[in-house]
Amino acid sequence: MVYMLPVILGAALAAAVTTSLTIDFEFRERATAERDGSITIRGTARCSTGSPIMISIRGDVTQEYSKSSVAIGTFADEVPCGNTASTWVVTVYPGGDLPFRPGSASIGVNASGVGPDGSGAAVSSVGVLQLTRSAR
């Protein structure tokens, strides 16, 4: 990527900016609907860094029962990310009176981080979760 930076007298200086950090981030399509109305989501993260860094994950889950009945929850966490895949787990609690229950739900997730060299990266993903009942 090349940015043009204005300089005095109308000259321009080209600065090459490279981003060396990449984030590979996945969530499992099958999640667990817990008996307390929350859901447990699992996934993996891998970064292009020699030593692990912490990345931020943020997201939301929506489960529509009918046009007027919707369970919604948000989550945010910091998870380790290095050159080997690491597993992450988050629990999402409903933000209102309606619990999450077995069925399908929509998910949107963002993951972002800054590498040891100061380069940053961010990825976003959307999809559908299949919520299954907890065995507990």
Per-residue pLDDT, 6: 39
CATH superfamily of 21-133: Immunoglobulins (2.60.40.10)
Per-residue pLDDT, 11: 36
Overall average pLDDT of the 122-135 stretch: 91
Per-residue pLDDT, 136: 61
| Local structure of 116: helix, strand or coil | coil
Dihedral over alpha carbons 63, 66, 68, 71 (to 10 degrees): -20
- CB of 107 within 8 A of CB of 90? no
**Pairing state of beta strands 30-33 and 120-133?**
parallel
Overall average pLDDT of the 105-113 stretch: 95
- What is the tens place of the pLDDT at every residue in 74-99? 999 999 999 999 999 999 999 988 99
Residue 36 Cα to chain centre, angstroms: 23
- Segments making up each domain of the chain, as ranges: 21-133
- What is the tens place of the pLDDT at every residue in 27-76? 999 999 999 999 999 999 999 988 889 999 999 999 998 888 999 999 99
